[in-house]
């Protein structure tokens, strides 16, 4: 039994069962390729069995580290970018208080992120805050050479050493990187930082169930055992068969490929809960980086409703008809709040007085879905009973597996990202990195 449900009843007027079922054969082959590690990029399939193979001693070590960090830090800075940061942020922000930064009674450090941009103002503001707080940090980079986290780490390492002294600072730094190679590994060894390993066969965007995601999530005070248990349950469910009528990832992969074939080239992930914003960001990376290559792939976009109904709603309702929506719907909130009654009823809202806010939100969801379907936007609905660590574990593994299937159906290697290098090469050429002299000369001619 899995907790996540997928409802495709709003696709009926857009794709036929026949058009969906036509993908069963490709899905089956893709499923076999994932399970037997025979497809493209098969040296990056370590994530497939990760939930069932994760070591108890690793979990215990992460929990012990998280406790130690909680006792020494009010703030935990997670330095990383892309797959080395979005998974942790997706889970932490989904589970934490919506106003975590303002909560005074938390027993756990507030997680703050760095190394995901090159903004001088962002880093300067961060240093100003860190001047006044006790903090520790983790630097996460599989390659150990990514510019954004390397720059942020250089700055924060200096700050930490000035604040606590070099010897004490090193006990406040954990590096998560490759097990043997890369600049960060060498630095960590030279300086004596504690380290965790990003497994060789797990790419960044599939690494949330490794220390890359688990350590920050545990430091934030969330139950990583439940997260892993949920993922394991989903792994068990998805590995059993590739049948699109029983395997929810097969179904999702078949539906989105059927829609893509009919010209729906943009998938918008919709949520109605602001704390799912970063889950959408994680999903966008997962699908965008896995499928967007060889001039193919669905463009993954995201909106948060009802907020964005007042900004993007117009386009979705009446713009170019190349989009479909996947709504991530949460059945039950973790709190209860009713709309109050007001005698004067000046705002005319007494017709919903006494109703739960969630009921209003649900009717907004239903009304939006019907309107968008009427406007020519197919709608897939994925629902969770509630947001908790277990369900997020299920959801993460579901999306990962469906992404692997979907990428194989598209006939691309879902586990590489060659296109990410282009901007880096230009940036290095423009900054005059040694070894880039020719590129520097060429790019300068274009300016
Ligand atoms: O999914 C990926 O592989 C990328 O998003 C990387 O995680 C990202 O570029 C960061 O790379 P690294 O961990 O090597 O610093």
Could you read off the pLDDT of 153-184 as tens digits, one per residue? Answer: 999 999 999 999 999 999 999 999 998 888 89
Q: Is 289 a catalytic residue?
A: yes
- Residue 7 β-bridge partners: 381
Residue 203 Cβ inside 6 Å of ligand 1? The answer reads: yes
Pairing of strands 75-79, 110-114: parallel
Report how far apart, in Å, the C-alpha atoms of 241 and of each of 51, 236, 238 are.
18, 10, 6
| 306 prior amide bond cis, ω within 30 | yes
Residue 248 Cβ inside 6 Å of ligand 1? The answer reads: no
What's 50-225's CATH class?
alpha beta
pLDDT at 39: 96
How would you class 27 by CB atoms within 10 Å of its CB: exposed for 0-12, middle for 13-18, buried for 19 or more? Answer: buried
Give the relative orientation of helices 389-409 and 86-95 as an angle to the nearest 10 degrees: 140
pLDDT at 105: 83
The residue whose two tokens read 């070590």 is 61
Residue 207 Cβ inside 6 Å of ligand 1? The answer reads: no
Q: How far is the CA of 373 from the centre of ligand 1 (A)?
A: 36
pLDDT at 393: 98
Give the relative orientation of helices 437-445 and 421-431 as an angle to the nearest 10 degrees: 90
Two structure tokens written together for 138: 């983790």
| Ligand 1 pocket, mutate which of 44, 81, 207, 290 (most atoms under 8 A from CB) | 81
Q: How far is the CA of 142 from the centre of ligand 1 (A)?
A: 7
CATH architecture of the domain with residue range 5-41+227-418: 3-Layer(aba) Sandwich (3.40)
Residue 393 Cβ inside 6 Å of ligand 1? The answer reads: no
Low-confidence ranges of the chain (pLDDT < 70): none
d(CA 136, CA 160): 8
In terms of C-beta distances under 8 Å and separation of at least 24 residues, what long-range contacts does 36-40 make, across chains too? 39/408, 40/408, 40/412, 40/413, 40/414, 40/415
Q: Give every CB contact of residue 235 below 8 A, 6+ residues apart in sequence.
A: 48, 49, 51, 52, 397, 401
Residue 81 Cβ inside 6 Å of ligand 1? The answer reads: yes
pTM score > 0.85 for this model?
Answer: yes
Strand (E) or helix (H) holding 155: helix 147-164
pLDDT at 86: 98
| Segments making up each domain of the chain, as ranges | 5-41+227-418, 50-225
Q: How far is the CA of 200 from the centre of ligand 1 (A)?
A: 13
Q: How far is the CA of 84 from the centre of ligand 1 (A)?
A: 6
Q: Is 28 a catalytic residue?
A: no
């Amino acid at each position: 039994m899995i907790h996540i449900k997928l409802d495709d009843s709003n696709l009926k007027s857009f794709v036929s069962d026949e058009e969906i079922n036509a993908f069963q054969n490709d899905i089956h082959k893709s499923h076999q390729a994932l399970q037997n590690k025979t497809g493209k990029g098969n040296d990056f399939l370590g994530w497939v069995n990760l939930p069932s193979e994760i070591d108890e001693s690793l979990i215990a070590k992460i929990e012990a580290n998280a406790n130690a960090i909680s006792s020494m830090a009010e703030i935990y800075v997670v330095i990383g970018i892309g797959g080395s940061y979005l998974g942790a942020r997706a889970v932490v922000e989904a589970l934490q208080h919506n106003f975590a930064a303002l909560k005074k009674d938390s027993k756990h450090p507030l997680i703050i992120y760095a190394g995901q941009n090159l903004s001088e103002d962002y880093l300067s503001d961060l240093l100003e805050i860190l001047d006044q707080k006790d903090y520790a940090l983790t630097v996460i980079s599989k390659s150990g050479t990514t510019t954004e986290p390397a720059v942020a780490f250089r700055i924060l390492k200096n700050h930490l050493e000035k604040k606590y002294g070099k010897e004490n600072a090193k006990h406040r730094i954990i590096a998560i990187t490759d097990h043997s190679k890369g600049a960060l590994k060498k630095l960590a060894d030279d300086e004596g930082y504690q380290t965790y390993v990003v497994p060789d066969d797990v790419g960044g965007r599939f690494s949330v169930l490794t220390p890359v995601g688990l350590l920050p999530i545990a430091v934030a005070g969330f139950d990583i055992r439940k997260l892993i248990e949920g993922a394991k349950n989903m792994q068990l469910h998805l590995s059993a068969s590739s049948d699109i009528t029983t395997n929810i990832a097969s179904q999702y992969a078949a539906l989105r490929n059927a829609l893509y074939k009919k010209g729906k080239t943009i998938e918008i992930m919709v949520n109605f809960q602001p704390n799912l914003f970063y889950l959408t960001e994680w999903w966008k990376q997962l699908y965008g980086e896995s499928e967007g290559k060889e001039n193919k792939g669905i463009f993954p976009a995201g909106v948060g409703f009802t907020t964005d109904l007042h900004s993007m709603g117009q386009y979705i309702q009446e713009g170019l008809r190349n989009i479909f929506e996947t709504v991530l719907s949460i059945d039950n909130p973790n709190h209860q709040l009713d709309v109050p009654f007001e005698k004067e009823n000046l705002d005319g809202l007494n017709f919903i007085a006494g109703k739960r806010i969630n009921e209003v939100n649900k009717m907004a969801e239903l009304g939006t879905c019907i309107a968008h379907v009427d406007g020519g936007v197919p709608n897939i609905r994925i629902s969770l009973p509630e947001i908790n660590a277990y369900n997020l574990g299920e959801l993460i593994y579901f999306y990962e597996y469906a992404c692997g299937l979907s990428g194989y159906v598209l006939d691309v290697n879902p586990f590489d990202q060659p296109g990410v290098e282009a901007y880096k090469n230009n940036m290095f050429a423009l900054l005059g990195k040694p070894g880039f002299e020719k590129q520097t000369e060429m790019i300068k001619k274009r300016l």
